[in-house]
Amino acid sequence: MPPHPKQAARLAWFDTGAGVLVRVSIMMALQWASLGAWIVTLPTYLAANTGDEGSGVFGASFIGDIGVAGAIGALLSPLVCGLLVDKWLNTEQVLAILHALSAALLLLVGYAQSQAVFFLLLLGYFQVYAPSGALLSSLALHCLPDSDKSFSVTRAMGTVGWILAGALVGLWPVLTGGQSIEGTIVPMRIGFVLHVIAALVAITLPATPPTPTMTESQAAPHEGLWRNKAVLFFLAISVIAASPVKFYESFVNKYLNHFEYPFPAFVLTLGQVSEVLIMLCVPLLLVRFRLKNLFLAGLIAWAIRFALLGFANQGSRPWMVYTAISLHGPCFVLVSILGQLYVDRLAPKNLRASAQGAFLMATFGVGSLVGARLSGWAQSQWLTPAGVSPAPYHWQYFWLLPCGMSLAAAVLFAVVFRESPHAVRPRNPEA
């Protein structure tokens, strides 16, 4: 029996460009909400159970060390999953499996009763979660109409999801009339539920089978991609730029809680609002400015952000703190999102998922691993050194270290990188 005309029209719309845009946008929101619900408050939960606090399960430098789990997850699994979807499996199917596994592992993390078990479970979680972001970006760039313009809008929905999840956690006392949940495992439970929903939504995404291998003539223009010095240097700078990020991600919530800022998780969503605004401006920015200048502006923004936190006089200058948080837009978008677009434009059609995995490995893998180790060391030196009670919390020294790293990356990039105005070619419409 044929479907009713109205039902047929709804089904037809489902597969139109607008329908695909809506589905991918919903998935993008869930992709980042499932992480944003708990990762921001994780340092607060760890601090509440470190040393003499709470259960005392975690060591003095574990907040920084825990970043290693995410970095290791981004080292290898994105490349493996990228190869799988480039050669053998549908992207949307792999996404559904990854989110289902992420849900199961995150649920178990909350039950861990020792530092070792907590770390191992979180390591497993990031092994399956890390590839999902690169795969979703690859799917979006493949399926979206006019993806150069629509990708940034769709990616902005990921930030909206992050904001809503952070607002839910941060405003929990207001919404429920209860206590703050930022130092508990409740945010992880919220993340678990969102992962389950994401796994179900992933099944509805457009079928994205492996792309047939290109012929020799089609591949010829791209055969030197990974031997291109500009590309390799861009990835190397991305590693350096990503390293200081772990200082902010792992400690800014603790910083706000330490100085008793109201609703810290909610306050941090100011950064995501800034991110959405900058994301929506990306199509215009790409027309008006060279990629090198935009990327350099992002590196400088990171240095300014850390300097503001460092000179905020132990949190007593709120305008500096709020400005630093609001700089998240240019910091994240100009460095991370434009990096994804850059890699996608240069990659051969049949290796785009692998190329996204390589970029993820360079930034969130190698860069985050270096940053996690350095931030853990800085914590043990200036924030909570072993054997010192009460902990000194020399935040100025702590923030000025990543400030110097970001500034060094900006200077190196400005002086050494030589990109012609047309180094990043527009995508072939037939690709």
User: Under the phi-then-psi rule, with left for phi > 0, alpha for psi from -120 to 50, and beta for the rest, what region is 177?
Assistant: left
Task: For residue 253, tell me if it sits in a domain.
Answer: yes
Average pLDDT taken over every residue of the chain: 81
Task: For residue 1, tell me if it sits in a domain.
Answer: no
Overall number of domains in the chain: 1
Q: Write out pLDDT tens, residues 81-109.
A: 766 666 778 888 889 999 999 999 999 99
Task: For residue 421, tell me if it sits in a domain.
Answer: no
User: Under the phi-then-psi rule, with left for phi > 0, alpha for psi from -120 to 50, and beta for the rest, what region is 285?
Assistant: alpha
pLDDT confidence band for 431 (50 / 70 / 90): very low
pLDDT confidence band for 63 (50 / 70 / 90): confident
Task: For residue 12, tell me if it sits in a domain.
Answer: no
- For residue 205, the Cα-to-chain-centroid distance in whole angstroms is 21
Model confidence at 69: pLDDT above 90: no
Task: For residue 346, tell me if it sits in a domain.
Answer: yes
Model-level pTM?
A: 0.72
Range of the domain at 270: 20-212+224-416
Q: Write out pLDDT tens, residues 209-238.
A: 776 554 443 444 344 446 666 667 777 888
pLDDT of residue 253: 84
Higher model confidence: residue 373 or residue 310?
Answer: 310
Q: Write out pLDDT tens, residues 323-350.
A: 999 999 999 999 988 877 777 766 666 6
What is the domain-level CATH number for residue 327?
A: 1.20.1250.20
Higher model confidence: residue 292 or residue 305?
Answer: 305
Q: Write out pLDDT tens, residues 240-288.
A: 999 999 899 889 988 998 898 988 878 887 888 898 899 888 888 888 9
Q: For residue 255, give the nearest of 95, 378, 373, 129 by alpha carbon.
A: 378
DSSP 391: -
Task: For residue 428, tell me if it sits in a domain.
Answer: no
Q: Residues with Cβ < 8 Å from 294, sequence gap 6 or more?
A: 285, 286, 334, 338
Task: For residue 217, tell me if it sits in a domain.
Answer: no
- For residue 68, the Cα-to-chain-centroid distance in whole angstroms is 15
Task: For residue 10, tell me if it sits in a domain.
Answer: no
pLDDT confidence band for 71 (50 / 70 / 90): confident
Task: Flag the least confident range among 80-89, 124-133, 315-324, 417-426.
Answer: 417-426
